[in-house]
Structure 1
Amino acid sequence: MPPTLYPRTTLKKIIKAHSKRPLSRNVDVLIFLNYALFMQELINEAVIKSKQGGERGVSGKSVKRVSGGVLRKYKG
């Protein structure tokens, strides 16, 4: 079995405690993939914003500027 990037059982327990609904078998995988896509888009938007602002690299300021828009896209 290949190593996992996160503890599946711990994540499932956390999700189950907060959802109070029945969960599918691979819900933890779907949540992790959604998180990875969110982080990728957040960084990409921050890179674009920092280049437009004339910055040399990505800063916390550029991440904060784009976080609201990216969060709105991923709101469920």
Structure 2
Amino acid sequence: MAGSQKPYPRTTVKKIVKAHSNKSLSKNVDILIYLDYILFMQHLMREASISAKQAGEKNISARSIHKVTEDALRKFKG
């Protein structure tokens, strides 16, 4: 396994969030944002998988993801 690779660029995430919010950020807010993103993606893919199986598809398609995106966004709205 490779050395210690970072899963995402912390400074870039902080700069993007700060530019959109115009507020100061706590020290580890980027980690919380990243973890929330991962949870959202897991939920989205799980629901898309269920939707695809119910539709009789063998693989997850863009259509399956589009069907569940609105509900997933609603669940994760802050």
TM-score normalised over the length of structure 2: 0.91
Partner-residue secondary structure (3-state), 2:57: coil
- 2:7 paired with 1:5: yes
Task: Output one character per residue of 1:16-42: Cα deviation in whole Å (capped at 9) or x when no partner.
Answer: 111111211000000000000000000
Aligned residues: 76
TM-score normalised over the length of structure 1: 0.94
Structure 2 match to 1:72: 74
Identity %: 55
Distance in 2 between residues matched to 1:73 and 1:7, nearest whole Å:
26
Query: Aligned-pair distance for 1:3?
Result: 2.6
The amino acid that maps onto 2:63 is K
Unaligned runs of 5+ in 1: none
Structure 1 runs of 4+ with >4 Å offset: none
